Structure 1
Amino acid sequence: MPFQPLPDDQPSCTVACPACGHRWLVYEQQLGLLGPCPACDAARPRYMGSVAPGSGRQVSFGSFRDLLDEPRLLHLIEQTLGLRPLDAERFADAQGREVPLEDIHYALQGNAGWQGRVYNLHMSRTR
């Protein structure tokens, strides 16, 4: 039987593909049950850690991506992570290296204060 999350569950664990480095959020209950990487279909991903636990304010990667046109989110990314936008979904660090959007999402979700700010932006938009 495939994993079915409870209605109040939120994905809270990050995994990464050892082949391509793609990262994504999963439910804690899925650790060890995961199949291949959704980006490259390679070997089973490895556990990278959890987002800020217990806050109940996680924002999914898809919802985070939908917020990228929000100037307050772009300002948060610039101020907290020191990244500058290259275009709609690409950011660069101070050395000009591109930073994967998944890593930005993970970093913001890994800090309870930043996570709360992203959550508030998301809730403001959905109401």
Structure 2
Amino acid sequence: MYEQQLGLLGPCPACGAARPRYRGSVAPGSGRQVSFGSFRALLDEPRLLTLIGQALGLRPLDAERFADAQGRQVPLEDVHYALQGNADWQGALYNLYMSRAR
């Protein structure tokens, strides 16, 4: 299980748990992943909202909901996954997380 998948609803490939809590190894060369729980805790950070808007073209609806340009709601898990799927966005998210953690 990658760190960004921890706590998400979905079967763990190793044990079948509904909400995995064990973190396996990170993708080679990455090491900058932010778990979904940590991502969720950053949603009050204006810089994260700016990143989501600039990178993904999404606007916040409320504390944990986003919409695309057509007004369709985008699941928070998809927002997190999209940010983790791009090295630059992943790095920006990681830096936001680390600046708060310090």
Give the TM-score normalised by structure 1. Answer: 0.64
The answer for unaligned runs of 5 or more in structure 2 is 20-25
Instruction: Name structure 1 gaps, 5 residues minimum.
Output: 1-9, 15-22, 39-50
Selected match of 1:82 from 49, 57, 63: 57
Question: Are 1:97 and 2:72 an aligned pair?
Answer: yes
Separation in 2, partners of 1:56, 1:104? 19
- Give 1 or 2 for the bigger CA radius of gyration: 1
Could you say which structure has the higher strand fraction? 1
1:33 to 15, 39, 49: 15
Q: Which residue of 2 aligns with 1:24?
A: 8
Which amino acid letter does the alignment assign opposite residue 66 of structure 1? A
Distance change in 2, residues 1:75/1:52 (3 Å): farther
Q: Cα–Cα, structure 1 residues 89 and 65, in superposed 2: closer, same or farther, change >3 Å? A: same
Which structure shows the higher helix fraction? Answer: 2
TM-score, length of structure 2 as denominator length: 0.79
| Off by >6 Å, runs of 4+ in structure 1 | none
Partner residue of 2:45? 70
Q: Percent identity?
A: 71
2:82 aligns with 107
Amino acid in the other structure paired with 1:24: L
The number of residues matched between the two structures is: 94
